[in-house]
């Protein structure tokens, strides 16, 4: 360390140490902010997906309006009961089972009737 007096070295340290600490602090803070932003974005995306899942059925159609009520099929009070356009009130379980049967019915009605009994001929 030729050429530097102890006072010059001390002054250099006095400037360099806070500078390094400041840079470290800046890097740490920006990393924390970046991580929080990524976490927040991830949470937002998950919340959006959850909300869409509650609003829309897996086939893309929206669920009917829902609220706390009595189910018409199982006759029990539920936190979430769907109010169907027909006036029927169904809990999530009964709605799912009814949906299955209506889907089956839809498929059945889509098949064209081939052997319809013709009463006009007799």
Q: Does 33 bind Zn ion (CB under 5 A)?
A: no
Residue in this structure with the two tokens 């893309």, named with its chain if needed: 60
Choose which of 20, 25, 74, 103 interacts with Zn ion (CB under 5 A).
74
Choose which of 66, 71, 82, 89 interacts with Zn ion (CB under 5 A).
71
Q: Does 81 bind Zn ion (CB under 5 A)?
A: no
Q: Report in angstroms how near the CB of residue 78 gets to Zn ion at its nearest.
A: 7
Identify the DSSP state of 62.
B
CA distance 78 to 90: 9
Q: Report in angstroms how near the CB of residue 74 gets to Zn ion at its nearest.
A: 3
Q: Is 102 exposed, middle or buried (0-12, 13-18, 19+ CB in 10 A)?
A: exposed
Between 8 and 54, name the residue whose CB sits nearer to Zn ion. Answer: 54
Choose which of 73, 80, 88, 98 interacts with Zn ion (CB under 5 A).
73
Q: Does 98 bind Zn ion (CB under 5 A)?
A: no
Q: Does 69 bind Zn ion (CB under 5 A)?
A: no
Distant-in-sequence contacts of 37-40, Cβ < 8 A, 24+ apart: none
Taken in order 71, 74, 77, 82, the sign of the CA dihedral is negative
CA distance 20 to 26: 10
Using CB under 5 A, list all residues that contact Zn ion: 71, 73-74, 91, 94
């Amino acid at each position: 360390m030729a050429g530097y007096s102890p006072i010059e070295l001390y002054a250099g340290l006095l400037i360099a140490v806070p500078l390094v600490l400041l840079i470290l602090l800046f890097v740490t803070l920006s990393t924390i902010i970046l991580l929080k932003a990524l976490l927040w974005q991830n949470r937002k995306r998950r919340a959006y997906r959850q909300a869409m899942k509650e609003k829309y059925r897996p086939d893309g159609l929206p669920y009917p309006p829902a609220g706390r009520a009595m189910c018409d099929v199982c006759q029990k009070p539920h936190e979430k009961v769907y109010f169907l356009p027909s006036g029927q009130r169904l809990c999530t379980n009964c709605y799912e089972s009814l949906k299955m049967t209506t889907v089956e019915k839809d498929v059945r009605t889509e098949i064209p009737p081939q052997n319809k009994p013709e009463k006009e001929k007799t």
